A and B are shown apart, each in its own frame.
Chain A
Amino acid sequence: MGARLKSTVCEGEIMVVMAPDAELAMTCGGAAMVDAGEAVSPSGDVHPDHAVGVAMGKRYIDEAETLEVLCVKSGDGSLAANGSLLLQKDTKKLPKTD
């Protein structure tokens, strides 16, 4: 939890909010993500099946709702865990309270 990962094929970057205990293969744009601290610049192409994109500020979950990530930088690639595309999570609109 709290780990920050980045895409290797687009500008996309995420933070893990909730993760299952099991090992996960996180991809963005169809390519394995790396630790955000690594000195790697995006190169190569976004896989056409993983090209809807990620949007800053949106949260994404897996089918089982055991994985949740926050997009902290927008990118052209879509997120997937163990090959399955993640879904965008709806945020309930709440009254502003502070």
Chain B
Amino acid sequence: MNVMMLLEMASAAFPERPAFTDGSNGASFTYQQLFDAARQRAESIRGSGAQRLVKLDVSNLGTPLSLFASAWAGVPYVPLNYRLTDAEIQALLTRVTPAYLVTDDARLGSLGAVADVQAVSTGSFLEDSNHPGATDAAWAMDPEEVAVLLFTSGTTGEPKAAVLRHKHLVSYILGSVEFAGASEEDVALVCVPPYHIAGIAAIMSSVYSGRHVVQLPNFTAEAWIELARKHKVSTAFVVPTMLARIVETLEAEGAEDSGLPHLASFSYGGGKMPLSVIEKAMTLFPNTDFSNAYGLTETSSTICVLGPEEHRKAAAASSEAERRRLVSVGQPLPGVEIEIRDEDGQQVPAGERGEIYVRGEQVSGEYEGRGSVTDGEGWFPTRDAGSMDADGYLFLEGRADDVIVRGGENLSPGEIEDVVLTHPAVADVAVVGVPSEQWGEAVAAAVVAKAGATIDIADIQEFVKERLRSSRVPELVQIWPELPYNETGKLLRRVVRTELAAAVS
């Protein structure tokens, strides 16, 4: 079992089909070219004696090539976040040596001297004449071999390196993607960074289905729309903040619809999608299938999906309960089991909040140097909080650690945020706990007003009071121009907490 097998099958079935195109310069690989290039780079990696391949760069043709060449060479692929500082990257690099580093020209100079690192530029890595040898060796089929090491964006302490073995990634693809399921006209626009699990999953699922990937290295809504129109993109994945910007930009164009008639499917995930954004998007793209995906690095990407039919049904529903399903992340994939458990590890009844546990072939739950954190029966505690309704639809409610403990009562920020978001003047909100002498923690909210709307703080508090128990009413409300998100759409709750806590101290 090896992810190279996915590319081998694709290149055998449709060798001449375009596989990857770098949207920034038009350079491209057919499936056969990618396969042949992987064979050559595998030889270079083996010859270097490196034990890891590190890719530190934006998305380009070197991204899929690094993934498959390292799989062929039998060394883990380690994509690093290029937004980190040199010092942070050096610290991570020393944890994965001896390494073969593929990076941009600018970083080559500053990182080339790290001990046990053989650094080449992405340009040099992509140049065939620099890699004249081609390996004769077959790739390893041991399912236990490590395919990818992915540093998670931990908010505290040293970043953890999640271990994904070939068996996890191949299981995920075989279970969720139909081989050669894409037509020749199918084009996917990939704009998530290569160090994000969705970026890795996009490479593998597109290859196995035979889809042409167009890469957008640096996301802006304008560039995304331009590339989508130019390449007649038929499918795309974005994080919620990206969709919000695309919607805003299209609305500013003032056209009736999106002007993207080829976009057949649009999926999103990686953070909470505001109801107003998805509703607007569905109006702008009336003929597009929307899917909401929930997944984690440790689960080889998607474990839960809300599909297109469910989107349409929820959007057309009149009852509040049915409409709410539009912000659900749907139901588990086949072969994936999900349970909601309380602090004592007991399963909670439908509708009640708890921690999300997941089990399945694609679930790794393992970190380098720490081993597996799954329990004896294979369940992985996600640290995400959520609830499941009676029909098995999963709702995310923030991180388990984000729970606010006010006077001994556990409050879910998500529950309060959902209510505040329904206020007509509110565009976005983050609710956190801040220190309180009286209660231990008190509820605080940072609220963003809709364009042209004015927010009255007392009115927000009254609005929550009318809908939830009084303990949920934010004692502190601040109006912010925007909330802090990272580049992959994750709300930086820690930053919100620090700022609001400073206001009460």
Stretch at the interface among A24-32, A39-47, A75-83, A87-95: A87-95
Q: How far is the CB of A62 from chain B (nearest CB, A)?
A: 17
Q: Which residue of chain A has its CB nearest to the CB of B172?
A: A98
The chain B residues found within 8 Å of chain A, CB to CB, are: 1-2, 5, 8-9, 12-13, 138, 141-143, 166-167, 171, 174, 176-180, 188, 198, 201-202, 205, 209, 235, 237, 265, 267, 269, 289, 291, 293, 295, 301-302, 305, 307-308, 333-334
Instruction: Answer yes or no: A97 CB below 8 A from chain B CBs.
Output: yes
Contacts A17-B174, A72-B8, A98-B198; A56 near B289 (Cβ below 8 A): no
**Which of chain B's residues have a CB closer than 8 A to the CB of A52?**
none
- Of A3, A56, A58, A59, the contact of B12 (CB 8 Å cutoff): A56
Please measure, in the bound complex, the distance between the C-alpha atom of A4 and the C-alpha atom of B4, giving whole angstroms: 13
- Would you list which residues of chain A between 1 and 34 have a CB under 8 Å from chain B? 1-4, 15, 17
**Which of chain B's residues have a CB closer than 8 A to the CB of A92?**
334
B12 pairs with A73, CB closer than 8 A? yes
Q: Which residue of chain A has its CB nearest to the CB of B201?
A: A98
**Which of chain A's residues have a CB closer than 8 A to the CB of B267?**
95-98
- Please provide the 6 A-B residue pairs with the shortest distance between their CB atoms, ordered closest to farther: A57-B179, A97-B293, A2-B1, A2-B143, A95-B291, A98-B201
What would 14 more interface pairs be, CB under 8 Å, given A56-B179, A70-B174? Answer: A1-B143, A2-B142, A2-B166, A15-B5, A17-B171, A57-B9, A72-B8, A94-B176, A94-B177, A94-B334, A96-B209, A97-B293, A98-B198, A98-B302
Instruction: Answer yes or no: A48 CB below 8 A from chain B CBs.
Output: no
B141 pairs with A2, CB closer than 8 A? yes
Q: Which residue of chain A has its CB nearest to the CB of B235?
A: A96
Q: How far is the CB of B35 from chain A (nearest CB, A)?
A: 14
**Which of chain A's residues have a CB closer than 8 A to the CB of B289?**
95
**Which of chain B's residues have a CB closer than 8 A to the CB of A96?**
188, 205, 209, 235, 265, 267, 291
**Which of chain B's residues have a CB closer than 8 A to the CB of A95?**
265, 267, 289, 291, 305, 307-308
* Residue count of chain A within 8 Å CB distance of chain B: 22
Please measure, in the bound complex, the distance between the C-alpha atom of A65 and the C-alpha atom of B446, giving whole angstroms: 53
Contacts A1-B143, A72-B9; A98 near B237 (Cβ below 8 A): yes
The chain A residues found within 8 Å of chain B, CB to CB, are: 1-4, 15, 17, 37, 56-59, 70, 72-73, 91-98
B178 pairs with A91, CB closer than 8 A? yes
Please measure, in the bound complex, the distance between the C-alpha atom of A44 and the C-alpha atom of B9, giving whole angstroms: 25
- Of A4, A56, A70, A98, the contact of B301 (CB 8 Å cutoff): A98
**Which of chain B's residues have a CB closer than 8 A to the CB of A59?**
174
**Which of chain A's residues have a CB closer than 8 A to the CB of B180?**
56-57
Q: Which residue of chain A has its CB nearest to the CB of B291?
A: A95
Please measure, in the bound complex, the distance between the C-alpha atom of A94 and the C-alpha atom of B174, giving whole angstroms: 12
A94 pairs with B333, CB closer than 8 A? yes
